[in-house]
Amino acid sequence: QVQLQESGPGLVKPSETLSLTCSVSGSPVRSYSWSWIRQSPGKGLEWIGFIETTGSTTYNPSFKSRLSIGLDTSKNQVSLKLSSVTAADTAVYFCARLLYTRAYLRFDYWGQGTLATVSS
């Protein structure tokens, strides 16, 4: 059974870097692509970016200059680092497994999400 569990500091100060981890069980991270999606308070889902098995990343243009997504195959984890955060980055952050071709995508497993609050 594939399970994803996001974790992070909960509270981050403005201008600092938000670091989140997605721990995966039941699926080797090196064999699939992984994505981060967030939901700001009172809003819908927003795609952040994904990382492929090769380590190649694709990011939402809105985040491109601040974002880094990585894989730790030894711990079977996916990471997200978002720098220079503001209150607008306060959200629940989800990780999800992504299956895709150029014409087809499928976010088949999701974590429950972790709340990250940006506040001084």
Partner 1 sequence: QSVLTQPPSVSGTPGQRVTISCSGSTSNIGTYTVNWFQHVPGTAPRLIIYGNNQRPAGVPVDRFSGSKSGTSASLAISGLQSEDEADYYCAAWDDGLSGPVVFGGGTRLTV
Q: Is position 53 an interface residue for partner 1 (rule: CB under 8 A)? A: no
> How far is residue 20's CA from residue 8's CA, in Å, rounded to a whole number?
5
Among 64, 75, 81, 106, binds partner 1 (CB under 8 A): 106
CA 112 to chain centre: 12
**From 16-24, 26-34, 80-88, 98-106, span contacting partner 1 (CB under 8 A):** 98-106
The token pair at 74 is 């030894």
Contact status: 41 vs partner 1 (CB under 8 A): no
Assess 35 for contact with partner 1 (CB under 8 A).
yes
**67 binds partner 1, rule: CB under 8 A:** no
How far apart, in whole angstroms, are the C-alpha atoms of residue 79 and residue 100? 20
27 secondary structure, DSSP code:
S
Place of tokens 């014409």: 103
Nearer to partner 1 by Cβ, of 33 and 77: the residue is 33
Rg of the chain in Å (alpha carbons):
14
CA angle 61, 63, 67 (to 5 degrees): 125
Between residues 16 and 39, which has the closer beta carbon with respect to partner 1? 39
What residues line the site for partner 1 (CB under 8 A)? 4, 35, 37, 43-47, 50, 58, 60-62, 94, 96, 100, 102-108, 110-113
